[in-house]
Structure 1
């Protein structure tokens, strides 16, 4: 019996729920993660190795997992992501040795790679199936992405304050929010299987998957290279990765210096990060109105990128301040910066979705995520070196310049999905 697709309104609500559940577990684990590892004997060098293992896993698996989502379906891949995430956070909460923390990083990286694209691709596919290829994607994408930001905001606050309320004789306080994140992954697993009906796909065989996934990846990469507008949009992702990593890498140390200690800096950083995620949700909600104000998504995304670059420049300038004024200036720049990033992300996603068909959609999202990860990798290698030798302000200023240059990359033509004939990768 064929599966009935949900109405556009129902699909929008389901996408919002799935987005919330996808980002709640990482939010819960964000605040205690580093402290949990150092508290169990890892020095900062080993913590860096664990984080690098996570990033390397994401980079290695981005394209294969995107191809899997296009071949096997969005629902099964997102459910697999939830299963790996559940395992990863459970191992993280219980780990006591370096190899156990590395195992947790590998499992979390697999979960992250598997989750980059299926939910959004499912929503766009459903809306196109019910409303046609010219359906307005912005309101639904904005709602879903905003709920993801709300989940990160709520998660980081809960993860930061929950250890204070957990008795040590019951469980390691810092492990409590991590285990809560594992439980949230279990909820996501059920929700993905129940709330994401898809049109029937041919039953895959093992040899068919081995053949079709590389073919899908190759076609997606060729499309990204052949479509100049798409290539430009993907280069923007690289610049965003550079900027986000520069912020996340240097802000905790800057706030610790302003507040006079690691503990106080960590608390302030949790609050500032939550404000940033709240601003991210607000920016996603304002994205459609911003596009209407500027007339086109490309012009609106360009303006938002310029504003974001200016906010990052303001963060660099705030290094001249000390004490409470420095904290307030950094928090204000953080809010504007993340609001601008969310507007840019929403409109850029809409422009990319209009340039591909369903059979390549999840692969494209993985290519986009891969570009973001490459930007973060380059930033992690360069920004710390720059900050050590020239200062935090210079590192942030250069990241702001990279982001400003990327504002010139937005294509003026909106683009339309190419027509494909049915093939093996379908």
Structure 2
């Protein structure tokens, strides 16, 4: 396999992994509220998803490091199919909770293996000093393209589906389930990796906890990785606040749930387009900023200012409100994409193959942890004090995370501060 072939496969898997998520972005909250759930129940459902994801992040990351990336990605696709198929027919709170569990399992399983597969494959082809930025940037751009395409399709489909055929807001999750089936096929046939050999269940159960423990020691034992985990938590606060509060705000501006779904789809698509742009600009931003740390600082500041702009314009109505939200979304996701990809690069440089997925799962766990905190606190704050207050707090959290990058040690897996003598790190 060539480096170009590995990159194409990585980009395809990233696209198919995030397409179902994009299809659900515009309609998920509105689907639940239209079927009788209160905003509190919606928050509980999202929190259950986050808790399941957080609980399984490290075990599934360790599993991917032990049994292989492809097996875990295939299982993730299967759980995605089950979760989205169930949510499309859910009519009761408990059904949405179960679908949240399935989606949480799927998210945990998909956290890291594809990127770890690409990094390991590229290292095998070009050596451990291979430049990761271009490939990670293109992979991140494909994620954003998938989200952009998905959110536009997911927002438009409810307006096109005859209500006599299917509940309109249930169409996007059904399309997402179909996309996940395609992902399952692609993962099985397009991601070759070195055979891990036959292992007994007892052997796997013994190795996974050991890998998780080693990965945790690595993530918590080095200054660089500790700071990167905290930065991921701050990003989780911002992203969850945006996802929880924006659909209802735009539905109110548009007048109906279906039109609100379309409005959110357009605004979110602009944001994901901004994310794709940010991903493409990562190598250039890092050069102009003097390195990955400087680029991450710039992206973090831009993200914080954009969330602050959402807070300032929260009282606008009609077209001005939609336009201001769209502009803020673009800038927010440009900044967030730059920061996220440069943090991902620094994370992979701080580990080696043995715990690569485990450590990147730790980062995802931190992201989800920040999301849980936002779900449980900022949603209630928005209900009591308004959207501006909740978005203002999120902006302050994000801006404060800039301090994590000040005097950050260089990320390198060979550094004694980052690597453990017992096992080589990987993600």
TM above 0.5, one fold? yes
**TM bin (shorter chain):** over 0.9
Q: Which is worse superposed, 412-421 or 80-89? A: 412-421
Q: Which residue is 2:412 aligned to? A: 416
**1:23 pairs with one of 18, 25, 41:** 18
Q: Which residue is 2:326 aligned to? A: 331
Q: Indicate whether 1:214 and 2:183 are aligned.
A: no
TM-score, length-normalised on structure 2? 0.93
Gaps of 5+ in 2: none
Taking a change above 3 Å as real, the CA distance of residues 229 and 235 of structure 1, as seen in their structure-2 partners, is: same
Question: 1:59: how far off?
Answer: 1.4
Q: Which residue is 2:149 aligned to? A: 154
Q: Which residue is 1:289 aligned to? A: 284
**2:301 pairs with one of 290, 306, 327:** 306
Q: Which is worse superposed, 59-68 or 405-414? A: 405-414
Q: Which is worse superposed, 393-402 or 39-48? A: 39-48
Q: Which residue is 1:3 aligned to? A: none
Matches of 1:424 and 1:255, distance apart in 2? 48
Q: How many residues align?
A: 421
Native 8 Å contact 2:73 2:113 kept in 1: yes
Q: Which residue is 2:137 aligned to? A: 142
Native 8 Å contact 2:50 2:369 kept in 1: no
Matches of 2:106 and 2:399, distance apart in 1? 32
Q: Which residue is 1:272 aligned to? A: 267
Q: Indicate whether 1:98 and 2:86 are aligned.
A: no
Native 8 Å contact 1:357 1:420 kept in 2: no
Q: Which residue is 2:383 aligned to? A: 388
**Other structure's SS at 1:302 match:** helix
Native 8 Å contact 2:145 2:273 kept in 1: yes
Matches of 1:25 and 1:265, distance apart in 2? 20
Q: Indicate whether 1:69 and 2:64 are aligned.
A: yes
Q: Structure 1, residues 294-336: CA drift from partner, whole Å, max 9, x if none? A: 1201111111111111111112111353332232122111110
Q: Which is worse superposed, 180-189 or 376-385? A: 376-385
Native 8 Å contact 2:236 2:367 kept in 1: yes
Q: Which residue is 2:190 aligned to? A: 195
Matches of 2:384 and 2:39, distance apart in 1? 20
Q: Which residue is 1:133 aligned to? A: 128
Taking a change above 3 Å as real, the CA distance of residues 218 and 27 of structure 1, as seen in their structure-2 partners, is: same
Native 8 Å contact 2:353 2:424 kept in 1: no
**Other structure's SS at 2:287 match:** helix
Q: Which residue is 2:352 aligned to? A: 357
Matches of 1:43 and 1:296, distance apart in 2? 46
Taking a change above 3 Å as real, the CA distance of residues 316 and 44 of structure 1, as seen in their structure-2 partners, is: closer
Q: Which residue is 2:361 aligned to? A: 366
Native 8 Å contact 1:82 1:188 kept in 2: yes
Q: Please report the RMSD computed on the Cα atoms of aligned residues, expressed in angstroms.
A: 2.1
Question: 1:123: how far off?
Answer: 0.5
**1:89 pairs with one of 84, 87, 106:** 84
Q: Structure 1, residues 237-292: CA drift from partner, whole Å, max 9, x if none? A: 01111111122222233334444555543332221011111111111111111111
Native 8 Å contact 1:66 1:362 kept in 2: yes
**Other structure's SS at 2:26 match:** helix
Matches of 2:393 and 2:314, distance apart in 1? 14
Taking a change above 3 Å as real, the CA distance of residues 39 and 308 of structure 1, as seen in their structure-2 partners, is: closer
Taking a change above 3 Å as real, the CA distance of residues 258 and 173 of structure 1, as seen in their structure-2 partners, is: closer
Question: 1:189: how far off?
Answer: 0.7
Question: 1:34: how far off?
Answer: 3.2
Matches of 1:323 and 1:270, distance apart in 2? 16
Taking a change above 3 Å as real, the CA distance of residues 47 and 142 of structure 1, as seen in their structure-2 partners, is: same
**1:344 pairs with one of 318, 335, 339:** 339
Question: 1:159: how far off?
Answer: 1.2
TM-score, length-normalised on structure 1? 0.93
